[in-house]
Amino acid sequence: MDPIAVIERATAESSDLTLLPSPRDDAVEALEAELRVPLPSNLRLLLKRAGGIDGTRLGTIDFTGRSFDVELGHIFPSGLPIADDGSGNHWVLDLTPDAAVAPVFYAAHDPPVVLLQSPDLGHFLKEVVAKTDRSRTSLIDEVRGDRPFRVWRTNPSAVDRATALEQGDDEVRAFAAELDERFTIIDLRRPEIGIGFAWGRYGPATDVRRDGYRLLFAYAQPERRSGLLHRPFR
């Protein structure tokens, strides 16, 4: 879904929405260097049109990520936070080196889960803009409503390491082989909207791993080691 078409239509239909100025070319290059991955072409084109959109039900959507401060490097190595809800929960564009489009994830802290929100930025923006019409139900509401608690309770897509080694495909088995028996494996390579995993299953110091940029994750209770400092999600 073309994000430029989405925001242009939205601003034409609603006077409450305002496009923010585009960043300078050198700022875009600096952002790309900071993220350590090429920006997807649709994001690069979007930044030439606008730096964000203001007046949505989520407030400001910042396509540069500069408005938000969140530590997610262990989950999203090149994640770009583009929105928040004012309560410490963020929507993050999961940028990777070779993806033409990037999915958007909802990263919550109470309960501490990560859920797929949208398959791409255009889809996310359409759902955010849909919230300006109070008669419509948006996937934004559905994902941040009861889905975090459902995922926390049911732990979908999770298998123990032994099962991953026995029944997984080549990528899953290779990832599991790098881990010890403490770990639970989560495969989000073909996720449904609203599905994810509990990044804080064992508290803020939960040991979370990702298989490079693949949507394969693992978590475990942290090993007890003296003198280590753990920074919680914030």
What pLDDT digit, counting tens, does each position of 1-57 carry? 899 999 999 999 999 999 999 999 999 999 999 999 999 999 999 999 999 999 998
Residue at 127 is within a domain: yes
- 117 token code pair: 């929100």
- Reduced DSSP (H G I as helix, E B as strand, rest coil) percent helix, strand, coil of the chain, to 5: 30, 20, 50
Give the per-residue pLDDT at 83: 97
Q: What is the pLDDT of residue 134?
A: 56
Compute the chain's Rg from CA coordinates: 18
The answer to whether residues 189 and 216 touch, using CB atoms and an 8 Å cutoff, is: yes
pLDDT digits (tens, 9 = 90+) for 134-168: 556 789 999 999 999 999 999 998 999 999 999 99
Residue 181 lies in a domain: yes
CATH number for the domain including 36? 3.40.1580.10
Please give the mean pLDDT across all residues of the chain.
91
pLDDT in the model for residue 231: 43
Residue 102: both structure tokens together:
């990037």
Sheet strands (E) in the chain: 18-20, 52-56, 59-62, 79-84, 90-94, 104-107, 114-118, 158-160, 184-187, 196-197, 207-210, 216-220
Residue 140 counted as domain residue: yes
- Identify the pLDDT of residue 148: 96
pLDDT at residue 152, rounded to an integer: 96
Domain encompassing residue 82: 3-220
Q: For residue 234, tell me if it sits in a domain.
A: no
The answer to whether residues 196 and 151 touch, using CB atoms and an 8 Å cutoff, is: yes
- For β-strands 59-62 and 104-107, DSSP reports them as unpaired
**Is 135 part of any domain?**
yes
pLDDT at 137 (0 to 100)? 73
Give pLDDT tens digits for 173-191.
999 999 999 999 999 999 8
106 domain residue, yes or no: yes
Quick one: pLDDT at residue 136?
Answer: 63
* Number of compact structural domains in the chain: 1
Q: How far apart are CA 63 and CA 35, in angstroms?
A: 13
In a domain, 228, yes or no: no
107 domain-assigned: yes
Answer yes or no: pTM beyond 0.95.
no
